[in-house]
Amino acid sequence: MIISMRNLSIKAKLIVMMTITTGISILFMAIIISINAVLVKHDSILTELSTLAEVIGSQSTGAIEFDDPNTAREHLKGIRYKLQGK
């Protein structure tokens, strides 16, 4: 049942306008906060993976230089477990 705005008092019209404005503002802020949370999480994941790549890369130098596939597999297994855990 939709009530016509013409039949409402000025007080009721102001209450309706404030309610609509507040609802739109809350919806807008919820969208902004959600987008911010996604971007922060994305940056966190990139930083973590970059750090992990640096550590594994520095640890794998010996395995690559000395052609040691067993050590290289162990390092890659560590990455696999880390990525599956997320």
pLDDT at 28: 98
Is residue 78 a contact partner of residue 56, using CB atoms and an 8 Å limit?
yes
The span from the CA of 80 to the CA of 51, in Å, is 15
pLDDT at 27: 98
**pTM, whole model, 2 decimals?**
0.59
Residue the block writes with tokens 């949370």: 37
The span from the CA of 52 to the CA of 31, in Å, is 32
Task: Please give the helix or strand (H or E) that residue 82 lies within, else none.
Answer: helix 69-85
pLDDT in tens, 40-84: 999 998 898 888 888 877 777 777 777 878 877 877 777 776 666
The phi, psi pair for 8, rounded to 5°, reads -85, 155
pLDDT at 80: 73
Question: Where exactly are the structural domains of the chain?
Answer: 12-85
